[in-house]
Structure 1
């Protein structure tokens, strides 16, 4: 849900989760019969004439990031609609009909729009016949819509089209067996002669393929920046709503951007020489954003872990009072951290940062683009040299950590602190590996997988560390209030045991990273030999031709 300050309390904004299946169907095919939808009972049809104008930026930023903004008249839900991607289906926000885009909707997509104007990109008219499918208790389960669509696009040169499609949408995803009923209705649609829609939405079909956003493949560094910036913006709307997935994925993207900019700072400084971009300042701003997101992310992870842990104990071990205190304390902390995230993403400071990231992605690899094939090959080698540098850092930390673990009598907290540094180095190495272009037959996947496995194991350890820190903090407050803290101790020891066991396999997982790097190195040597052999063969053909 929105945090405080997101929307005007005097305006009614409805929020629903949209889970649907869409089908393409010829005009002469009859809709499935009522018997085909059994055991659901068919009501209707109700008929509506709908007309919607869709809005976007000139580069179709909303559409690129799977966001839909429209003003629709007709039907029982006319008004402004904003559809946002979600973990399951899409979140749809609805506001009353008016002439201007609601400020609340502009705030929700501010990171994608970036202070640029929104303009109509398409008009879609729809003659809709709706059947409500109910269960044996009379509850509405599925809405089946038979749509006759006509569209006019105002972008990509402009075009018009007409078609017919069926939609089956769950009324309430929380209802028991709702998804099973949707699957059954979908099967009835295909049995009647429909085919699964090839477009994700009516708008996507109306405007056609999107123009290329940039010159992919010109520079691996540019591709890496564009990929992480795209991920950041994909999850921007969800992070503004402080969803767990949105906050996590935006934080991952921010870290990826920091890693790429730091690793290739010298090359990017040269590319940005003719701009006002300040790379150290950019890195500092990304660090601040990562910290704001990280605070909320940590609380969300702790909340989830403790909820799962407490659920495994009877109430005479972890009492209802302890469960309630955990819930109240963590909810309050999450609310405060969420407000900080929302405030940060609504600020001009954040929008300035996104503008600068777009500018950096635009100029990155400029010298590579001008240099032709040889420069592009050198850029690929540059990415590999970045992997080499990160592996050296990983190896140095790993060697020191394994030596200290073997020679010193360390507490669990000291062992966790040492391995956390290894995790950070493995994470940086993984990001550089992920940025490698998939060319020249290099064996990249084993190193990527090994880094991910080590990062996951040590990440779980760090989550356990954070959870125990919060348990101590909340237990102290409970003790001051005169409450029993026995259950906190049980949960603490359970987390402590988890961390002990997870660290037992650290050395083998770290060794797998080293082995996978050697495999990549072998494939690089083989690729260089093949390239030299090919170049020698080409020179031989040229000499033969001159004779």
Structure 2
């Protein structure tokens, strides 16, 4: 069993003779419990080329104290996500990382062996700080002895203080206020903000330089013509890998963000055509398209569920019963859960791991096209021009056919969906060109993002209507009342039309930004 919580803490370096100040002076702290002393010993694991450490992820097996076990710490927006699993017995004389934790770092380590890279022993004096409603923080006075197990590693000792938020405070403004106040008090008592983000980083010290670099970090030098391209693709790669554990844990919006990252990487590879080329590129384009498709099914179900909840929460006619609401939401929730299980199965597959390996291999040895007739900047500019021409063509088709009564509503709406895809393509091209060259593409990127938002709202309403229609037909066959579906369908139709009111302004900004850049 794995437990999960948000870790929000602040660390301080402190001399041996420094005394702990009165912590009841902190806001919200009414008393402190009697201090408890724990003897902790942790072994940290990573690949030989330190893939976890480089990704700011830590994995340890710790004994002693009240939370002994396997601990995995992942980067988060408001702090670090810590996942803990129980200690396990060794297998064939070796401790094995629990599968529930290993799966969350699979995108980083793939099938590589995890080995001990450091040991941290700590005599911890822990004090629980309480407020009127319960614990608000833990204060730890740590005396640490650590060893780097890397080649050329050594041992080191130090003392540090930690203050970690407890209870409901992590991720709140009240918690941040406590962190800020504690920082002032502890520095006033003689502490210093720690230069090291973690005990492991302090333990490894300069010995990290003895570890080999992963292959994806050994690509072209900064002086190479393709260096900007490799940098841009590396950023795409890092996004994709970092989102993997969030998708597995079904964090909010993670499927959407991973789908975006997958499409960005694919679009950038297409934009870099003429700089990079070959069978490996074509293979990656096909595999990324497949991955984006699987993520898209889950994302569409997620969008529809969010819209259904909003529509039902704002439905004020009084004609939608609780039974209707429950049946509609249960059906779409089931569809999302089924789609998410398929996503996780895809992420667990050897095919997906091979895709990640192939991306890394391309970054390590990019198949650069040697061209004497044009520079990288010229090639990239050609792609930007082509993306704008496609957008212009689709804009004219969408606007010109909106009132065409010879076309079905679905056909006319599909033209705007094509326009949205063209705006997305131009946005990704602008981002790629800006990252790989000195061209100032920021205004095009921003204008395309606005268009994506406008047409995204429109397309979401279309997707929602399509799902409402399909669900109503299924319920009709079961003999259920389908009036609620028709009511929600018509409201979605109105919302979609309303979103198109901003279309003309959004297009004008794209055209203006492009013309100014290319004049």
**TM tier, shorter chain?**
0.7 to 0.9
Aligned counterpart, 2:116: 120
Aligned counterpart, 1:433: 430
Aligned counterpart, 2:53: 63
Deviation string for 1:67-105 (max 9, x for gaps)? Answer: 211111111111111122345433322222232222332
Distance 1:205 1:428 in 2: 44
Counterpart check, 1:77 vs 2:67: yes
Counterpart check, 1:170 vs 2:165: yes
Deviation string for 1:368-422 (max 9, x for gaps)? Answer: 7xx9xx99x9223322222122122212222222222366676654442111111
Deviation string for 1:318-351 (max 9, x for gaps)? Answer: 4322332233212211221111111111111111
Using the TM superposition, name which of 300-309 and 479-488 deviates more: 479-488
Deviation string for 1:452-471 (max 9, x for gaps)? Answer: 11112111211222222222
Question: What SS does the corresponding residue of 2:375 show, helix, strand or coil?
Answer: helix
Using the TM superposition, name which of 317-326 and 65-74 deviates more: 317-326
Distance 2:351 2:170 in 1: 45
Aligned counterpart, 2:263: 255
Aligned counterpart, 2:335: 333
CA contact (8 A) 1:216 1:223 kept: no
Question: What SS does the corresponding residue of 2:67 show, helix, strand or coil?
Answer: coil
Distance 1:352 1:341 in 2: 16
Find the partner of 2:100 among 104, 111, 114: 104
Question: What SS does the corresponding residue of 2:49 show, helix, strand or coil?
Answer: coil
Task: Tell me: CA distance 1:176–1:282, structure 2 relative to 1, closer, same or farther (3 Å).
Answer: closer
Counterpart check, 1:42 vs 2:44: no
**TM-score normalised per structure 1:** 0.82
Q: CA offset at residue 484 of structure 1?
A: 4.2
Aligned counterpart, 1:520: 517
Task: Tell me: CA distance 1:27–1:430, structure 2 relative to 1, closer, same or farther (3 Å).
Answer: farther
Task: Tell me: CA distance 1:208–1:254, structure 2 relative to 1, closer, same or farther (3 Å).
Answer: farther
Q: How many residues align?
A: 498
Aligned counterpart, 1:22: 11
Question: What SS does the corresponding residue of 1:252 show, helix, strand or coil?
Answer: helix
**TM-score normalised per structure 2:** 0.87
Find the partner of 1:190 among 177, 184, 192: 184
Distance 1:278 1:440 in 2: 23
Distance 1:16 1:176 in 2: 9
Find the partner of 1:313 among 305, 312, 315: 315
CA contact (8 A) 1:68 1:83 kept: yes
Aligned counterpart, 2:486: 489
Task: Tell me: CA distance 1:134–1:390, structure 2 relative to 1, closer, same or farther (3 Å).
Answer: same
Distance 1:305 1:177 in 2: 27
Question: What SS does the corresponding residue of 2:101 show, helix, strand or coil?
Answer: helix
Distance 2:303 2:20 in 1: 47
Aligned counterpart, 1:448: 445
Counterpart check, 1:392 vs 2:389: yes
Aligned counterpart, 1:233: 241
Distance 1:279 1:366 in 2: 11
CA contact (8 A) 2:274 2:379 kept: no
Deviation string for 1:280-336 (max 9, x for gaps)? Answer: 332222111111111111112222222233223359344322332233212211221
CA contact (8 A) 1:402 1:507 kept: no
Counterpart check, 1:143 vs 2:135: no
Task: Tell me: CA distance 1:22–1:416, structure 2 relative to 1, closer, same or farther (3 Å).
Answer: farther
Aligned counterpart, 1:360: 362
Q: CA offset at residue 480 of structure 1?
A: 4.4
Distance 1:53 1:404 in 2: 65
Aligned counterpart, 1:542: none
Distance 2:150 2:479 in 1: 67
Q: CA offset at residue 183 of structure 1?
A: 2.3
Find the partner of 1:268 among 273, 276, 286: 276
Counterpart check, 1:464 vs 2:461: yes
CA contact (8 A) 1:170 1:179 kept: no
Find the partner of 2:503 among 477, 501, 506: 506
Distance 1:430 1:200 in 2: 35
Question: What SS does the corresponding residue of 1:39 show, helix, strand or coil?
Answer: coil
Aligned counterpart, 2:92: none
Q: CA offset at residue 196 of structure 1?
A: 4.6
Distance 1:39 1:281 in 2: 58
Task: Tell me: CA distance 1:278–1:181, structure 2 relative to 1, closer, same or farther (3 Å).
Answer: closer
